[in-house]
């Protein structure tokens, strides 16, 4: 699931290498002949992505270099005309944010990272535990599997609705359940700390199925011979898990972790919909914070776009670093 | 490492370090009958607990939706007042049927377009190492990283220029940009698991690459396609922000429609819970259709990292 | 990136030309036509509650179409939560915007300053303006022009459970915030019910601010006043109410929970608006005895004043409407006395025209109850375009103060600093 060129089998697939035909035509012509099928097949998706994602992205980058907001961009509506009065400010916005001068970025970043790490660790950890449990013959296996994947099929905003109803500290069923187990009732969506626990919990609930399914498939693709060999060597179940299962899962788990990090970092719905508006702002992650900039009151286009680009840059840097390290460890 | 080799029962038995006769049919020998009874009980208890946690929120919403108007405050009242009243109310007094139809169109379109775009792109990248393939895969990854919600205003302007506002196609295209990158990645991985000899055979028979793809490879890639379809469908079925911004009330999807009575401050839980169940049922049905393929489809993509 | 910029710029130009061509209709609006000759289709965005209120508005739209057969109205229900975002995107691009939009009075200054909505002075939309109550009409004004026509109005008042107060030996509802706290304690002691349930939404803080002589800012003096002594006094009281008089607040579900607690008799007094009353009357404490619900003005603060913000909705006309004449007529029709009477009867909300308070309308105890409150305490809010943005820092710090994470003084200072970022040229004082 990586960028194509980094994997091995390149030579065989390059079509036409063996064909005796290549006369003296220009390199361009040759590569056109060779690749036009491929290009034809990716053109639709390339066009759609370029127009609907890369163009707004470029536009956002441009805005991040200005001080544009809703009140100073050019507006002509009916009889109303207002010329653009915003300026090009270079990297000022980035400096303002990254130097900590806006006072919001670093607190939000710290929580965003903490949020991402807790969610991904729990999602992957619990997903793996469930996958290991399911990866054996037993009665009701199909039933368990179907039920455990179910939260994936529930649209996330509905899952969040359900949790919001359940976590209500005065009328919710969640407190009743935990007090029945002898645990103290909590004001789940009240204080910042409780809110943080609650959003992580809900996001983990939503995210486990995907991880479980991917890892279950990964487990099933580990050759049984490896386990047999380990058993012959007298390895304990734990040793077999550490020495056979984990390395065997690496290709899947690396991908799952990378995707999990990217998705969680930008997970908007859970935080925005679960907590509503009466918050201290401490539970905002970077993306919900940027959203408030973009939509509360007079929209701060430049500020929101700057946050968007910074989020992108952070994730790009992380992914590059992560891939480099995991590739190394996979090859080792 | 083809999708077909997946077999259950790859985990070793609980009894530690017992020498095992090397038989060619390890699967039978490691039959679960050998699990100690206490281990069996523990296993089932754990899975039952996990199942309860996974299903409970949905079951709870269903439960509340069957009760009276104030059921969310007094869940104890539900059992003595069971009725489908909320469902008939919401069907009679809102445009639910229209929203449902809109959502089916949009989700169906997204599924078809998503499967088409993701499989063609995935196949091209998997089989033909063409210039630009690497960049394309990176671009896919990057699209996952940018918080598109922040750029909804430029996107709105763009859609209005392209006459795609308040238009099924516009929403379908927007959803495709969300779903396709991941799906194309996954399909690429899936195609990698299909032996290249099949392509060679197709070419020997005189098929074009596109013919080979369509006639030989697609039928073999069904599990991967099923996951792609599921993922695209879900993306469209439950999305709120784009649909809210781009569509007018005749074209509302369910996710927007429900917000007319599930407002942040004062949700009408009776209507909301009933509608939530109505929204969840089709998604669960689609899930049931593809769930057998999910494991093999998703992972074939994942393993071939 | 140079390419990105030029493309962006090019598209912006295209966008502007397109909307410039599409939008303007100056000719038609300058010479008024006979209303009967106006024709075409207009789109109306309605934000009333889809389940309970929208049917009344839909029925009025039908009547309008019957009266002006040449005009067709496309009625659209927009979720109230999303309307601001949605309208702004649409208004900005010129595509997909409605001709007439029902707008919360708190958004008027913002829309007007951004050029999204049209000034209505001298158009057919504004008719018999002297009939409008002064405060709601005031909400429609920005920089001396009228940008909307008041449709419904509301304010916050003190709703109370008469039985519980009587049981606690309290003859009249509290007139000052100090009495409010003292009464709450008595009620808790004597009846077991809580005195109140604090709504941590910062809008519900406004009565406390106003009645102590505080406000968010003073546009005429270009001053941010949210951290002055009066505001500190107001927030100190708010914290006391939260700690001593209120049931424990569930911050994410505060609105629903306080409603549930009040209507079922677990809470005796509530700062609430008229929109909540029908829901309240459906609860076990009032269902069989609607007269058990008492209406009073919000308590008074240190200076002896009792004041509450004016809310409600105005109808505004989109500046870029392709059919301004029809939009004006529609706005006029929907805000006429007859329509307001119909809306009041259908939804229990309060009309903005004095002539709409017919005996039939005021026979509804909800309307009568709040009408008296409205006349006594309702006042306009600061008409700053940035007011929507100001509520965010105020909200966040208010929650921190209530939760005890920050002292009143520090919380308000932090709020004032955030305000300064949003209000260039303003000084804190």
CA distance A193 to B260: 31
Q: What is the pLDDT of residues B5-14, one digit of tens each?
A: 333 333 333 3
User: What superfamily does domain B90-303 belong to in CATH?
Assistant: MetI-like (1.10.3720.10)
Q: Is C13 a residue whose pLDDT tops 90?
A: no
Domain ranges of chain C: 25-153+311-379, 157-309+382-428
Of the candidates C167, C200, C180, C134, the one whose C-alpha atom is nearest the C-alpha of residue C297 is C180
pLDDT reported for residue B34? 63
Range of weakest confidence among A219-223, A327-331, C166-170, C369-373: A327-331
Nearest to B248 among C81, C96, C255 (CB): C96
CA distance A38 to B208: 12
* Average pLDDT in chain B: 83
Pick among 1.10.10.10, 1.10.1740.10, 1.10.3720.10, 1.10.287.70: CATH of A104-296: 1.10.3720.10
pLDDT reported for residue C31? 52
Q: Is C159 a residue whose pLDDT tops 80?
A: yes
Question: Are A55 and C25 an interchain contact pair (Cβ–Cβ within 8 Å)?
Answer: no
pLDDT reported for residue A108? 95
Q: Does the interface ipTM go beyond 0.95?
A: no
Give per-residue burial for C292-317: e unless 16+ CB within 10 Å, then b. Answer: bbbbbbbbbbbeeebbbbbbbbbbbb
pLDDT reported for residue C275? 87
Distance (Å) from the alpha carbon of A59 to chain B's nearest alpha carbon: 7
Question: Is pLDDT larger for residue C107 or for residue C52?
Answer: C107
Which neighbouring-strand residues pair with C272?
A: C157
CA distance C175 to C178: 8
Q: Give me the mean pLDDT over the C367-390 stretch.
A: 90
Give A-chain residues touching C256 at CB under 8 angstroms: 168
Say whether C157-309+382-428 and C25-153+311-379 share the same fold: yes
CB B257 within 8 A of CB A175: no
The fold adopted by the segment(s) C25-153+311-379 is D-Maltodextrin-Binding Protein; domain 2 (3.40.190)
CA distance C275 to C155: 10
Q: Indicate the SS3 state at residue C217.
A: strand
Q: Is C175 a residue whose pLDDT tops 80?
A: yes
Residue C75 sits at φ, ψ, to 5 deg, of -85, 125
CA distance C196 to A144: 47
pLDDT reported for residue C148? 96
pLDDT band at B157 (very low <50, low <70, confident <90, very high): confident
Residue C298 sits at φ, ψ, to 5 deg, of -60, 155
Residue A104 burial (CB count, 10 A): 18
Of the candidates B189, B181, B190, B171, the one whose C-alpha atom is nearest the C-alpha of residue B145 is B181
Chain C residue nearest residue A103, CA to CA = C418
Of the candidates B177, B181, B140, B137, the one whose C-alpha atom is nearest the C-alpha of residue B158 is B177
Query: Is the alpha carbon torsion for A305, A311, A314, A318 positive or negative?
Result: negative
Q: Is C25 a residue whose pLDDT tops 70?
A: no
Residue C321 Cα to chain centre, angstroms: 24
Q: Give me the mean pLDDT over the A106-115 stretch.
A: 96
pLDDT reported for residue A332? 54
Q: Is B82 a residue whose pLDDT tops 70?
A: yes
CA distance C407 to C426: 24
Pairing of strands C40-46, C378-379: unpaired
Chain A residue nearest residue B280, CA to CA = A154
Range of weakest confidence among A247-261, B167-181, B285-299, C132-146: B285-299
CB B287 within 8 A of CB B230: yes
In this prediction the pTM is 0.86
Q: What is the pLDDT of residues A266-291, one digit of tens each?
A: 998 899 888 888 888 899 999 999 98
Question: Between vectors from CA A52 to CA A48 and to CA A58, what angle results, nearest 5°?
Answer: 125
Nearest to A52 among B134, B177, B299 (CB): B177
Q: What is the pLDDT of residues C337-359, one digit of tens each?
A: 999 999 999 988 999 999 999 99
CA terminus-to-terminus distance, chain C: 45
Q: Give me the mean pLDDT over the B130-151 stretch.
A: 87
Q: What is the pLDDT of residues C231-288, one digit of tens each?
A: 999 999 999 999 999 999 988 889 989 999 999 999 999 999 998 898 899 899 999 9
Residue C150 Cα to chain centre, angstroms: 11
User: What superfamily does domain C157-309+382-428 belong to in CATH?
Assistant: Periplasmic binding protein-like II (3.40.190.10)
CB A283 within 8 A of CB A111: yes
pLDDT band at A11 (very low <50, low <70, confident <90, very high): very low
CA distance B198 to B204: 10
- DSSP structure class, residue C353: B
Could you tell me what percent of chain B has a pLDDT over 70? 85
Q: What is the CA radius of gyration of chain B?
A: 24
pLDDT reported for residue B18? 40
Question: Are C24 and A79 an interchain contact pair (Cβ–Cβ within 8 Å)?
Answer: yes
Pairing of strands C100-104, C308-317: antiparallel
Q: Is B265 a residue whose pLDDT tops 70?
A: no
Quote helix, strand, coil % in chain C, to nearest 5.
50, 15, 30
CA distance C89 to B62: 36
pLDDT reported for residue C212? 93
Interface of B with A in 177-216 (CB under 8 A): 177, 180-182, 184-186, 188-189, 192, 196, 208-210, 213
pLDDT reported for residue C46? 95
Of the candidates A70, A126, A278, the one whose C-alpha atom is nearest the C-alpha of residue A192 is A278
Q: Is B233 in the A-facing interface, judged by CB distances under 8 Å?
A: no
Q: Give me the mean pLDDT over the B216-238 stretch.
A: 91
Q: Is B158 in the A-facing interface, judged by CB distances under 8 Å?
A: yes
Q: Is A48 a residue whose pLDDT tops 80?
A: yes
Pairing of strands C100-104, C40-46: parallel
Interface of A with B in 287-306 (CB under 8 A): 287, 290-291, 294, 299, 301, 304-305
Which neighbouring-strand residues pair with C146?
A: C141
- DSSP structure class, residue B216: I
Longest dimension (CA), chain B: 71
pLDDT reported for residue A307? 94
């Amino acid at each position: 699931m990586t960028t194509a060129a980094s994997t091995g089998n390149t030579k065989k697939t390059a079509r036409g290498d063996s064909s005796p035909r290549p006369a003296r035509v220009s390199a361009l012509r040759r590569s056109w002949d060779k690749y036009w099928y491929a290009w034809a097949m990716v053109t639709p998706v390339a066009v759609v992505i370029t127009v609907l994602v890369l163009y707004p992205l470029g536009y956002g980058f441009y805005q991040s270099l200005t001080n544009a907001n809703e009140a100073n961009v050019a507006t002509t509506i009916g009889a109303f005309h207002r010329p653009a009065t915003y300026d090009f400010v270079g990297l000022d916005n980035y400096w303002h944010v990254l130097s900590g001068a806006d006072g919001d970025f670093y607190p939000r970043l710290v929580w965003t990272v903490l949020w991402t790490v807790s969610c991904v660790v729990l999602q992957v950890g619990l997903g793996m535990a469930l996958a290991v449990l399911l990866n054996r013959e037993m009665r009701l296996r199909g039933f368990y599997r179907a039920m455990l994947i179910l939260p994936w099929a529930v649209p996330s905003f509905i899952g969040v609705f359900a949790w919001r109803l359940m976590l209500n500290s005065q009328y919710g069923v969640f407190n009743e359940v935990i007090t029945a187990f002898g645990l103290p009732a909590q004001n789940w969506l009240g204080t910042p700390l409780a809110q943080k626990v609650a959003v992580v919990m809900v996001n983990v609930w939503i995210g486990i199925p995907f991880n479980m399914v991917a890892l279950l498939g990964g487990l099933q693709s580990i050759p049984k011979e490896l386990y047999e060999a380990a058993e012959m060597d007298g390895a304990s179940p734990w040793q077999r898990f550490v020495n056979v299962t984990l390395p065997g899962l690496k290709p899947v788990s690396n991908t799952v972790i990378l995707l999990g990090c990217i998705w969680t970092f930008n997970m908007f719905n859970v935080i925005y919909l679960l907590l509503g508006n009466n918050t201290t702002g401490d539970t905002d992650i970077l993306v919900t914070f940027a959203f408030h900039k973009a939509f509360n009151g007079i929209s701060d286009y430049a500020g929101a776009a700057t946050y968007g680009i910074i989020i992108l840059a952070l994730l790009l840097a992380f992914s590059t670093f992560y891939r480099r390290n995991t590739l190394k460890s996979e090859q080792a | 490492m083809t999708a077909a080799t997946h077999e259950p029962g790859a985990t070793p038995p609980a009894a530690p370090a017992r020498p095992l006769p090397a038989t060619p049919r390890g699967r039978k020998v490691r039959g679960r009958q050998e699990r100690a009874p206490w281990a069996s009980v523990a296993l089932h208890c754990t899975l039952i607990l996990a199942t309860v946690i996974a299903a409970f929120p949905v079951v709870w919403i269903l439960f509340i939706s069957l009760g009276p108007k104030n059921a969310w405050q007094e869940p104890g009242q539900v059992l003595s007042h069971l009725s489908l009243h909320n469902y008939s109310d919401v069907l009679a007094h809102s445009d639910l049927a229209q929203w449902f139809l809109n959502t089916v169109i949009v989700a169906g379109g997204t599924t078809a377009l998503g499967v088409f775009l993701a499989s063609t792109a995935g196949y091209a990248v998997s089989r033909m190492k063409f210039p630009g393939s690497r960049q394309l895969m990176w671009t896919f990854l990057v699209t996952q990283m940018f918080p598109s919600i922040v750029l909804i205003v430029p996107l709105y302007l763009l859609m209005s220029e392209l006459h795609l506002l308040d238009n099924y196609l516009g929403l379908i295209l927007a959803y495709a940009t969300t779903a396709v990158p991941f799906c194309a990645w996954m399909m690429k991985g899936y195609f990698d698991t299909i032996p290249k000899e099949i392509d060679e055979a197709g070419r020997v028979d005189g098929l074009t690459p596109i013919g080979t793809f369509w006639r030989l490879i697609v039928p073999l890639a069904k599990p991967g396609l099923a996951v792609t379809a599921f993922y695209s469908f879900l993306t469209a079925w439950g999305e709120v922000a784009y649909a809210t911004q781009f569509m007018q009330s005749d074209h509302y999807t369910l996710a927007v429609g429900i917000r007319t009575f599930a407002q942040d401050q004062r949700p009408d839980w009776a209507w909301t819970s009933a509608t939530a169940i109505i929204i969840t049922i089709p998604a669960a049905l689609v899930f049931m259709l593809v769930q057998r393929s999910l494991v093999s489809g998703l992972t074939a993509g994942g393993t071939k990292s | 990136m140079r390419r990105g910029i030029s493309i962006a710029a090019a598209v912006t130009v295209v966008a502007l030309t397109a909307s410039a061509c599409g939008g303007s209709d100056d000719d038609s609006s300058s010479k008024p036509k006979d209303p009967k000759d106006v024709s075409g289709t207009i789109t109306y965005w309605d934000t009333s509650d889809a389940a309970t209120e929208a049917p009344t508005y839909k029925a009025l739209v039908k009547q309008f179409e019957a009266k002006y057969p040449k005009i067709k109205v496309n009625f659209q229900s927009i979720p109230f939560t999303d309307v601001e975002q949605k309208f702004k995107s649409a208004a900005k691009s010129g595509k997909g915007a409605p001709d007439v939009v029902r707008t919360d009075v708190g958004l008027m200054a913002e829309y007007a300053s951004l050029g999204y909505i049209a000034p209505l002075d001298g158009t057919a939309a504004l008719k018999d303006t002297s009939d409008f109550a002064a405060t709601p009409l005031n909400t429609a004004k920005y920089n001396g022009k009228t940008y909307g026509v008041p449709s419904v109005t509301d304010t916050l008042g003190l709703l109370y459970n008469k039985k519980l107060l009587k049981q606690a030996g309290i003859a009249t509802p509290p007139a000052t915030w100090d009495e409010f706290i003292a009464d709450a304690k008595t009620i808790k002691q004597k009846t077991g019910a809580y005195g109140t349930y604090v709504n941590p939404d910062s809008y519900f803080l406004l009565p406390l601010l106003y009645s102590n002589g505080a406000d968010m800012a003073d546009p005429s003096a270009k001053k941010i006043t949210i951290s002055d002594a009066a505001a500190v006094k107001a927030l100190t009281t708010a914290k006391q109410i939260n700690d001593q008089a209120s049931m424990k607040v569930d911050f994410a579900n505060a609105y629903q929970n306080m409603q549930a607690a009040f209507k079922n008799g677990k809470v005796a007094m509530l700062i609430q608006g008229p929109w909540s009353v029908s829901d309240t009357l459906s609860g076990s404490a009032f269902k069989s005895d609607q007269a058990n619900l008492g209406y009073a003005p919000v308590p008074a603060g240190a200076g002896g004043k009792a004041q509450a913000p004016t809310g409600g909705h105005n109808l505004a006309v989109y500046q870029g409407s392709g059919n301004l004449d029809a939009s004006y007529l529609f706005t006029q029709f929907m805000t006429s006395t007859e329509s307001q009477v119909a809306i009041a009867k259908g939804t229990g909300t309060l009309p903005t025209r004095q002539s709409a308070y017919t005996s039939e309308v005021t026979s509804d105890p909800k309307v009568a109850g709040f009408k008296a409150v409205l006349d006594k305490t309702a006042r306009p809010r600061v008409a700053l375009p940035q007011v929507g943005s100001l509520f965010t820092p105020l909200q966040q710090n208010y929650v921190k103060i209530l939760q005890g994470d920050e002292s009143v003084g520090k919380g308000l200072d932090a709020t004032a600093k955030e305000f300064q970022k949003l209000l260039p040229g303003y000084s804190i004082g």
